Amino acid sequence: MIKDNLRKVLESITICKEKYNLKQNIRLVAVSKYSNVSEIFDAFLAGQFEFGENKVQDLVRKYETFSGEKLGDKFENKKNFKDSLSLDSNNVDVSPKAQHDKDSKDFIESKEKLKKIKWHFIGHLQENKINSLLNLNIELLHSLHSINLANALQKRLIKQNKKIKALLQVNSANEDSKQGFEVSKVIESYLQIKETCPNILLNGLMCMGANTNNVTLIDKSFNITNQLFDEISKIESKDSKNNTPETNLDSKSIDISQTLNMTDKIDSNTLTLSMGMSSDYEIALKNGSNCLRLGSIIFK
């Protein structure tokens, strides 16, 4: 089921790219906050290598599960791997949902690919969780929502002699329930953090669409963020559309294992515009998003 869901999402992305003549590569982050280890593993087997979590404690547990000694040579096949996960101290439900017949050789190759899994933190980061987050080697922090958080993060990064790639979170819908910088302060804050927090490698912007069924308002919130992203791109002397080579995603001949893992096809210097969730990702794509955060549409 998860493999079929991923295929449908990929086909939908292809249609949107063709409909709106989009040239940017699309990075797909599977939001696994409500998914157990078995479901994440099935998504991985279907070709999905990037996952996002909303809570630091959940990210730590899943990160360690997929990168710890459990992935040693003693695992010769998928069944043994999943059986071992059932012994996890967190008692995660790992009963298989998909019945894939893979021989030992195929699984050993998949086990090596597990090392390619990249984790994103997409939720609200509390200052008392910073150290736990920095103990992990995450791909991207999507939710840098204030100057205070940036300063606190910078101090911890200096102590640990680390750097982290992050996106500035924008409250483009101007909703009290959402974290993020006010639209009028985004450019100023971006420049301030770049100057005063050198261990934070700013890589673009993130926003959540307006919390409404009104498509016009959702579209407006994404459009505002895209305009800010264009300004950021000019500041960085980069044009994300020109720097990102087009990838042929032919829906008639899709190889999920090749097309879902977009990370290797994306220039590390390309700025990220993280917009779009399961209910509004097509609107986000139309407004220039090059990074989608999809959960329920994949794991439902």
* pLDDT tens readout for residues 28-86: 999 999 999 999 999 998 999 999 999 999 999 999 988 855 554 334 445 555 554 44
Report the percentage of the chain scoring pLDDT > 70.
75
| pLDDT of the residue at 105 | 57
Q: What is the mean pLDDT of the chain?
A: 83
Instruction: For the domain covering 1-72+111-240+267-294, report its CATH number.
Output: 3.20.20.10
Tokens 């017949």, located at residue: 101
The answer to whether residue 88 scores a pLDDT higher than 50 is: no
Closest CA to 168 of 146, 144, 148, 186: 144
| pLDDT of the residue at 113 | 73
The mean pLDDT value for 277-300 works out to 97
Inter-residue contact 25 to 262 (CB < 8 Å)? yes
Rg of the chain over CA atoms, in angstroms? 19
Give burial (CB, 10 Å; 0-12/13-18/19+) of 108: middle
| pLDDT of the residue at 267 | 56
The mean pLDDT value for 263-289 works out to 86
The answer to whether residue 298 scores a pLDDT higher than 80 is: yes
Query: Read out DSSP for 121-138?
Result: E-SPPPGGGHHHHHTS--
| pLDDT of the residue at 250 | 39
When pLDDT is cut at 50, 70 and 90, the band that residue 300 belongs to is confident
The beta-carbon contacts of 103-108 under 8 Å, at least 24 apart in sequence, are 103/77, 104/76, 104/77, 107/75, 107/76, 107/77, 107/78, 107/81, 108/76
Of the listed ranges 75-79, 118-122, 125-129, 247-251, the least confidently predicted one is: 247-251
| pLDDT of the residue at 36 | 93
When pLDDT is cut at 50, 70 and 90, the band that residue 97 belongs to is very low
**Three-state SS for 267?**
coil
The answer to whether residue 258 scores a pLDDT higher than 80 is: no
Inter-residue contact 133 to 160 (CB < 8 Å)? no
Of 4 and 110, the structure prediction assigns the larger pLDDT to 4
pLDDT digits 0-9 by tens, 154-211: 999 999 999 999 999 999 999 999 999 999 999 999 999 999 999 999 999 999 999 9
| pLDDT of the residue at 81 | 56
C-alpha distances (whole Å) from 160 to each of 55, 149, 163 are 22, 17, 9
Of the listed ranges 32-41, 134-143, 229-238, 280-289, the least confidently predicted one is: 229-238
What stretches of the chain show up as alpha helix (H) in DSSP?
A: 2-19, 37-45, 56-67, 78-85, 104-113, 130-134, 147-160, 186-196, 215-235, 240-243, 256-259, 281-286, 296-299
Q: Where do the structural domains in the chain lie, given as residue ranges?
A: 1-72+111-240+267-294
| pLDDT of the residue at 106 | 57
The answer to whether residue 236 scores a pLDDT higher than 50 is: yes
When pLDDT is cut at 50, 70 and 90, the band that residue 260 belongs to is low
The answer to whether residue 263 scores a pLDDT higher than 80 is: no
